[in-house]
Structure 1
Amino acid sequence: MGKLWIAALVFMVVACGETPSSSASPGQPTGFPANTGGPVSSSAPASGGATPSLSAVTPVGDTINPRKVPWISATPTDDGTALDVVWWSGVEPCNMLDRVDVTETAKTVTVTLWEGHDRRQPDAVCIEIAIQKQTRVRLPTPLGDREVVDGAR
């Protein structure tokens, strides 16, 4: 019986121990990539930190309960035929880009992002952590001098 207790104690110590990340900088929480300062739980970027890397995504379609998501920037490509749209989101499969709607007028281009839950994993539970995502949106006609408007606002 004593050997079983010792084995259980060793297992608990090993399972609960924290191994520092080799890429972590001094004073940074372990388990996160270097220079991110850990997860961001707000809808805005952390101030004073390094620019987060963008996660490039494409629309998957057919998500559960798609909803409009506001974006933070829409940068036209050099030729004006597309926009690189950036927004704050959550992790997959709970936050998947469902589709992008583009509505054009003579003066504006309205871009609306839609996110939903992945239909293939309807019962998935996700941590709440902010991720900056980007998608390239092709425009039916070049942007020109038209204003780009967020359809979710």
Structure 2
Amino acid sequence: MRKLWLVALLFLAVACGGTSSTSASPEQPDGSPTGTDADQAVSVPAAPAAPSGAPSGTPSPVAPAGPTLHPRKVPWESATPTDDGRALDIVWWSGVEPCNVLDHVEVTETAREVTVTLYEGQDRRSPDAVCIAIAILKTTKVQLKAPLGDRKVVDGAK
């Protein structure tokens, strides 16, 4: 739908953007297009191709930098056991810093599951920062008190 609006606005800009002549000559009546204006071809760029799927790439590693302003729970995408199950690599979608900074990570371990909750907030040093809205894939490593084993990993933000 956005592409349709873009093409429509571009068409209107091209259609309404023509200039008119205010000087009359014996060959052409006042306001008629001149030879150079009438002979010009207007090309409209094609709409950009739709993305083929979700963005991919290598996550940016980050470490908790709290305390931040207004920390909130953030859902994560994946948790991969590392270091023989004694740690988890957590991957989530975030935004640019200083507006989206990893504040801290809470890890609650029981015999049956490990609950990991990420908290993000705004950097205290930049309370009035304005950031672009762009998704960034981030990762952080959390240590476990005991190896993961058969325990289930749960997102504490969901």
What TM-score range do you get, normalising by the shorter chain? 0.5 to 0.7
Q: Percent identity?
A: 69
In structure 2, what residue type is equivalent to 1:94? C
Structure with the greater alpha carbon radius of gyration: 2
C-alpha distance after superposition, 1:7-31 (max 9, x if no partner) = xxxxxxxxxxxxxxxxxxxxxx9xx
For structure 1, list consecutive stretches of 5 or more residues without a partner in the other structure: 1-28, 30-36, 38-45
Unaligned runs of 5+ in 2: 1-47
Alignment RMSD (CA, Å): 2.0
The equivalent of 2:61 in structure 1 is 56
Matched with 1:20 is none
Letter in 1 for 2:147: P
Query: How big is the shift at 1:50?
Result: 6.4
Question: Matches of 2:118 and 2:103 in 1, distance apart?
Answer: 8
Superposition pairs of residues 1-153 of structure 1, within 5 angstroms = 47-48=52-53, 51-153=56-158
TM-score normalized with structure 1 length: 0.68
Structure 1 residues 47, 83: closer, same or farther in 2, change over 3 A? farther
Distance in 2 (CA, whole Å) between partners of 1:54 and 1:119 is 24
Equivalent residue of 1:79, what SS? helix
After TM superposition, give the deviation of residue 51 of structure 1 in Å.
2.6
The structural deviation recorded for 1:66 is 0.2
Runs of 4+ in 1 over 3 A off after TM superposition: 46-50
| Equivalent residue pairs, number | 111
Deviation at 1:49, TM superposition (A): 6.2
Q: Please give the TM-score of this superposition, normalised by the length of structure 2.
A: 0.66
CA distance in 2, matches of 1:119, 1:68: 17
- The aligned residue for residue 12 of structure 1 is none
